Structure 1
Amino acid sequence: MSVINEELTMTWKSFHNRGETLRAVIETANTRLDARLPMDVDGVAETFGDELTLLGALQLKWHTRLSGHVEQQLLSQPMDLERAVVAAWIAAYDELPGVRALLDHYRSHPLDDEMGWAMARATVKERVLLATMAGQSGIGDLAGAPIGARIEESARATRAARPVPTVHTLAPQRPSFMDRLRSVLAA
């Protein structure tokens, strides 16, 4: 039984360390705003290994944040779906400008064919999501990608008309259920 507990502890430690390292990477990217993967952040090489894996984690963070903002905006603007999706994209950008800059840079300038393929695939999926959530395409319908590209451009143009943020930090994370449970058990 102790072997299982050790494996779970190591798994939890790895997960926790990965999250801490990713938060540090995001904070660094948002501060630098230089569109370069911050491979120099402590723990990146050990946790992510290479640029593609780190970029994939950042892509997932962006997608998750964008999806969350889309859901929030659709609750407050259910009658104007496209406007809600544009507002959601802008909100995600405002929270993760360094991440968005990285994604844009490596979409245009991938380090290799594998990264180029991964970024192209992620871009299509994001644009299909935008079109679908704006009510202009079906779920998983690749024909929605050009519509999503237009919505993305509208969001970028709207965002460009606003002042550029200088320094961003992540909002403090609310303790997870597991963190709260651990503190109760420790007390």
Structure 2
Amino acid sequence: MKLVLASSNAGKLEELRELLADTGIELIAQSDLGVDDAEETGATFVENAIIKARHAARLTGLPALADDSGICVDALDGAPGLYSARYAGEHGNASRNIDKLLEALREVPDAQRGAHFYCVLVLLHHAGDPQPLIVEGQWQGRILHARQGQGGHGYDPVFLDPVHGQSAAEMPLPLKNGLSHRGQALAALKQRLAARA
């Protein structure tokens, strides 16, 4: 099965390819097919994922997989949330986004730094698919006071998994993929696809 990934995010593509390696699904980046990112005008993660999947499916003629995800911080009433990738104003500037988040939480004690990563995945079999396959995943943790680790992408260096005592950026990829919001959503997607087969 060939799927177009409705994203130009290289880190996301690598992570999803790794997670789909055992499924026989070939994931092609939309940018490899000349497709630009869709404008994310939805009010929720689900709406944005559907917008992105429809855009990619319409322009490529392929089934499309879209992910919309972000980090939701308790002390900030769920922000940055939908705006995680452009929290500091420039889309995809992870370093500036982290700086802004750390500044917003500067006076917040450890006990109140709870956060979770959230991911919704949408699979459309074609652009007009009236029954998108929708799954979600969530990863609970808290925000560190400073970056830890060199791996991962996005907010990984400041997201602490309290069970393992490591930031997402310190974890080996197989461990992170087993715990992450995206890993959980993809596991649910695999189950749903297997049930349909």
TM-score by length of structure 2 reads 0.29
- Normalising by the residue count of structure 1, what TM-score does the alignment of the two structures yield? 0.30
**Which of 1 and 2 has higher RCO (CA within 8 Å, sep 6+)?**
1
Which structure: greater helix fraction?
1
Larger radius of gyration: 1
Name whichever structure is richer in strand by fraction: 2
